[in-house]
Amino acid sequence: MKNVLIILLSILVLSCSSDDDNSEIMNIESTLIAKDNLYGNGAEGITKQNLIISNQTIWNDLIVQMNSVNNVSENFTETDIDFSEYTIIAIFDEIKGDGGHSLKLNILSNSENIIVKITDVVPEGNTTTVITQPFHIVKISNFDLPIIFE
């Protein structure tokens, strides 16, 4: 009786296969454009948001807005993007009352979506008393999949 139960249980477990393509998750390669902080205490007018930028006009407008208080784009690795090949992902956190905060991105894909996982890195120990707004900007190759943020 014990052997029959083991055999039936084995058949049940083996017959439960998943055809879910979402189980195959792959890392998406990204190129860092900038990972820093805005120091304008919100004067730039950029709220906490996740942006998907797919054309040069919107990208240029964002750069102008980011530079409205301090010239942060001078530290970007690049500003001329070939949007026929790449998409920009720009993440802006909320304004923080102290320094040391940053954002970490992990970009993955499955058969249905590109998933951008955002982690708020909180400083440990003593921090500066400067008001900051962390941001993280990368470019990825264009895909025919929707981008979702987690």
Average pLDDT over residues 38-65: 97
Sign of the dihedral through C-alpha 138, 141, 146, 150: negative
User: In the prediction, which pLDDT does 17 show?
Assistant: 45
Stretch (H or E) spanning 31: strand 30-38
- Cβ-contact 139, 88 below 8 angstroms: yes
Q: Count of domains in the chain?
A: 1
Model confidence over 14-38: pLDDT tens digits? 555 444 444 699 999 999 999 999 9
Question: Does any domain span residue 16?
Answer: no
Q: Is residue 64 part of a domain?
A: yes
Instruction: Give backbone dihedrals phi and psi of 127, rounded to 5 degrees, phi first.
Output: -125, 165
The sign of the CA dihedral 62, 63, 69, 70 is positive
Do the domain assignments include residue 8? no
Inside any domain, residue 44: yes
**1 within some domain:** no
Written as six digits, the tokens of 17 are 């296969």
pLDDT grade for 129, boundaries at 50, 70 and 90: confident
| C-alpha dihedral, 93 to 59 to 130 to 126, nearest 10° | 50
Structural domain contains residue 95: yes
Mean residue pLDDT across the chain? 89
